[in-house]
Amino acid sequence: MVKHATPAAALFLIALLNMATPAFADDAKPPLPMPDDASAVNYDGESGSLSFSSAKPVKDLAAFYRDLAKQQGWQEQPSVINQDNMAVLTFMTKGDDVATITVMKMGEQSQVTAEGKALEAKGAATADAGSAPAAEAAPPLVAIDKDGLPIPDGLGNMGSTRTQFSHAVNFSAPNSVADIVAFYRTELAKKGWSENNATSQVSDIKASLSFSTPDGPATLAVNRNGDMTDAELTVSEKAKAAASPLAPKPGMVKLVFGNMSDNPADVIVGSKHVKMTPGQGARAPDGPTLEVKPGDITVKSKSAKESFTAGPDEIWMVAVGPGGLMVVK
Look at 87 and 143; give whichever has higher pLDDT: 143
| Residue 138: count of CB within 10 angstroms of its CB | 14
Q: What's the confidence (pLDDT) of residue 130? A: 47
**8 A C-beta contact, residue 309 and residue 328:** no
Q: Has residue 227 got a pLDDT over 90?
A: no
> In whole angstroms, what is the distance from residue 50 CA to residue 62 CA?
16
CATH topology of domain 143-238: TATA-Binding Protein (3.30.310)
CATH of domain 244-328: 2.60.40.4150
| Residue 254: count of CB within 10 angstroms of its CB | 21
Averaged pLDDT for residues 300-317: 85
| Residue 214: count of CB within 10 angstroms of its CB | 10
Please, where in the chain does CATH 3.30.310 lie?
7-122, 143-238
Q: Has residue 162 got a pLDDT over 70?
A: yes
Q: What's the confidence (pLDDT) of residue 128? A: 45
Share of the chain above pLDDT 90, in %: 25
Tens-digit pLDDT profile for residues 24-66:
544 456 666 788 888 888 777 666 577 888 999 988 988 887 8
Q: Has residue 206 got a pLDDT over 90?
A: yes
Please, where in the chain does CATH 2.60.40.4150 lie?
244-328
Q: Has residue 21 got a pLDDT over 60?
A: no
Q: What's the confidence (pLDDT) of residue 210? A: 93
Rg (CA), the chain: 20
Position 71 confidence tier, pLDDT thresholds 50, 70, 90: confident
Is the full-model pTM beyond 0.75? no
3-class SS at 38? coil
Tens-digit pLDDT profile for residues 96-143:
556 677 888 877 788 887 765 555 665 544 444 444 444 456 788 999
Lowest mean per-residue pLDDT among 81-95, 244-258, 307-321: 81-95
CATH of domain 7-122: 3.30.310
